[in-house]
Structure 1
Amino acid sequence: MQAKHVNGDGELLCINTEKVYDWILNEATFDLTIDDIELPIVNGVQLTCDDIDNVTCEVETNDSEELNREDRPYVIDGTPITLQLVTIQKNFDVTIIINTTAGQSVEAGTFPFTRCEQVILCAPEDTEVNVTYTDVDCFVCVFNCDDVTPGVGTLDVGVTVRLCQSIQSTFPVTLEIFAEFCEPRELLPIVSGCPTPTIPPQCPVIFPNNNGDE
């Protein structure tokens, strides 16, 4: 069956894509306490508390998981609506780094953590909730080193983790649209340096529809 041509060179196409039901940007901050970290051995020499100049951290995120969603009634601009309270489990690894008085940076260990968070979304049954981390950072708020035995110490660290998240509820749909097929562009000359990240143009007139109009 041939494609149906309309009004020029374009044609009606049937495509599979995802409809975005809701989309929020959310910042979450978690405080962690890691106790009794054994000081590592570096080049055959046991680090002691006196060798520590300061302590820093690095964080990496793992897959998130939706644990539960519950319907909650709301009234927005006078219109009753049912939204969902979604509970999300976030998994991440925090690496503790000891910076020594000799100018070395030594990993003291990587520790997995799990934290949960709740958000309100338009996420009806069968939609999928996706979490994308746009920025992840951590810092050491406080640390304390104790000599357990002469020459051997353990480290207690308080860490704050900050996560910037893009959270969407989506559902796969099949759409009929009028479009033209893409063609390859011309090659561009290679230039040095990295471009500054930019945000694509948006369409606030049509999405999101925050005023409840049909």
Structure 2
Amino acid sequence: MQDFMPSQVLQEPICINVDKVFDWIVKEATFEFSPTGPLSFPTVPANTDLSGAVVTCNVVPRATNPVVILNRENRQFTIDGATVCLQNLTIQKNFTLTLVVTLPNGTVFTSNPITVSRCEQVTLCAPKGTDVEILFTDLDCFVCSVGGTPIAAAGTITFSALVVTISVCQSIQSTFPVTVEFLATFCEPRAELPFACPGVVRPAQCPAVFPPPAG
């Protein structure tokens, strides 16, 4: 007989706190970043020969304030014959970029983190009070150009025409915290998986070659 599990029949209304999604879009964006002047590379000795060096990059969302809403403007749109009020948002996305310079002999120099900001406008149902959350489903960068040979000084590298291209695939949502009620069945823990020690395993043999057949 199957054991009686209370969760199979017992349900009750429960309330939980969740984020309601007001609107949601997915879009791609690509932009370029061209830093000027000496860039901090703490381990670079003065007069390092950077001829033939390869420059690469890494980019991640900034740890603090990765997304900032700069402006929120109501706009009227006609959708399927109905007039709706949406919000045109100006948002600033903040990234942390790191440059990596690899010499032909394999020596690697890494820059201090560089803050990169990008502003763009999106139209969402995002009335006052809602927040904007961005999930980067893909975030990558590559060095498009370095110009001539970089010049090294003690702790810095100067590029003549450095261009870094950053590409993002982003999921943008407008959200607001709400409390919802629904009828739920309480979960029960699953049974522990059975475990048994394996038996003795002998490797396959090759009787056709060893021992050799009797002569």
Instruction: Give the alignment's TM-score, normalised by structure 2.
Output: 0.73
- Matched-pair contact (CA < 8 Å) for 1:20–1:168: yes
2:144 aligned partner: 141
- Matched-pair contact (CA < 8 Å) for 2:50–2:151: no
Whichever of the two has the greater Rg, that structure is 2
- Matched-pair contact (CA < 8 Å) for 1:27–1:162: yes
Q: Deviations over 1:95-122 (max 9, x none)?
A: 1111211123321443212111110101
2:10 aligned partner: 9
- Matched-pair contact (CA < 8 Å) for 2:42–2:111: no
Q: 1 CA distance for matches of 2:131 and 2:43?
A: 47
Q: Deviations over 1:170-190 (max 9, x none)?
A: 12222221111122334569x
1:155 and 2:156 are equivalent in the alignment: no
- Counterparts in 2 of 1:154 and 1:44: CA distance versus 1, 3 Å: closer
The alignment yields a C-alpha RMSD, in angstroms, of: 2.9
Cα distance, 1:49 vs structure 2: 3.1
Cα distance, 1:126 vs structure 2: 1.6
2:59 aligned partner: 59
- Where does structure 1 lack aligned partners over 5 or more consecutive residues? 1-7, 190-214
Cα distance, 1:167 vs structure 2: 1.1
**Residue of 72, 81, 86 corresponding to 1:83:** 86
Q: 1 CA distance for matches of 2:166 and 2:44?
A: 31
SS at match of 1:144: coil
- Counterparts in 2 of 1:174 and 1:143: CA distance versus 1, 3 Å: same
Amino-acid identity (%): 42
Matched residue type, 2:17: N
SS at match of 2:35: strand
2:24 aligned partner: 23
When you count strand as a share of all residues, which structure comes out higher? 1
2:103 aligned partner: 100
Q: Deviations over 1:141-196 (max 9, x none)?
A: 0002457699x97323100011221111112222221111122334569xxxxxxx
- Counterparts in 2 of 1:9 and 1:58: CA distance versus 1, 3 Å: same
Matched residue type, 1:107: T
- Counterparts in 2 of 1:154 and 1:129: CA distance versus 1, 3 Å: closer
Q: 1 CA distance for matches of 2:58 and 2:79?
A: 41
1:128 aligned partner: 131
1:33 and 2:34 are equivalent in the alignment: yes
Q: 1 CA distance for matches of 2:131 and 2:33?
A: 29
Q: 2 CA distance for matches of 1:173 and 1:109?
A: 41
- Counterparts in 2 of 1:61 and 1:188: CA distance versus 1, 3 Å: farther
Matched residue type, 1:19: K
